[in-house]
């Protein structure tokens, strides 16, 4: 999210999220507000500030300047670890084709596609997450 300027109120935070991430798994105004409250915080100045590390995005964008990043070697290195992929059905970040390739490359991968949402899927997939965690020794 490139616009990191503080906002005057929670309605502004909701509007920024709606504009920037229209595929978030929010169906109601209450859903959007819950996502905003998980993404922003009220500062000592009474304004609403992003509550995540912008360095994550900066490092990713900096890496892209040098060309596409090949994450497959890193993904394959997880071969001995159980992995759960939660994918939003309408995600523009993780395509169905890529998920199929991931499953073929990783024998211990479990996947859940959350219908009707983009990236990132909410914990509507909580049952799948609970089932996955219950199988870990």
Q: What is the pLDDT of residue 1?
A: 46
Please write the tens of the pLDDT for every residue from 81-115.
999 898 888 888 899 999 999 999 998 999 988 88
Please write the tens of the pLDDT for every residue from 10-63.
999 999 999 988 877 788 999 899 989 988 999 999 999 998 877 766 766 676
Q: What is the pLDDT of residue 48?
A: 97
Higher pLDDT, 66 or 101: 101
Higher pLDDT, 131 or 17: 17
Q: Any bridge partners for residue 84, and if so which? A: 110
pLDDT band per the 50, 70, 90 thresholds, residue 126: confident
- Tabulate helix, strand, coil % of the chain (nearest 5): 45, 15, 40
Q: What is the mean pLDDT of residues 58-70?
A: 72
Could you give the CA distance from residue 32 to residue 63 in angstroms, rounded to a whole number? Answer: 31
Q: What is the pLDDT of residue 65?
A: 74
- State phi, psi for 83 to the nearest 5 degrees: -130, 135
Whether residue 2 is predicted with pLDDT greater than 80 in this model: the reply is: no
pLDDT band per the 50, 70, 90 thresholds, residue 128: confident
Could you give the CA distance from residue 117 to residue 108 in angstroms, rounded to a whole number? Answer: 25
């Amino acid at each position: 999210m490139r616009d990191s300027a503080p906002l005057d109120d929670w309605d502004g935070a909701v509007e920024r999220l709606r504009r920037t991430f229209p595929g978030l798994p929010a169906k109601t105004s209450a859903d959007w507000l819950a996502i905003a409250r998980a993404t922003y915080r009220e500062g000592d100045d009474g304004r609403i500030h992003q509550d995540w590390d912008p360095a994550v995005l900066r490092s990713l964008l900096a890496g892209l300047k040098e060309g596409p990043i090949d994450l497959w070697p890193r993904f394959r290195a997880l071969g001995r670890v159980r992995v759960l992929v939660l994918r939003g059905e309408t995600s523009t970040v993780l395509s169905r084709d890529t998920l199929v390739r991931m499953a073929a490359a990783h024998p211990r991968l479990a996947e859940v596609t959350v219908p009707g949402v983009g990236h990132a899927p909410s914990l509507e997939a909580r049952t799948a997450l609970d089932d996955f965690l219950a199988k870990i020794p």
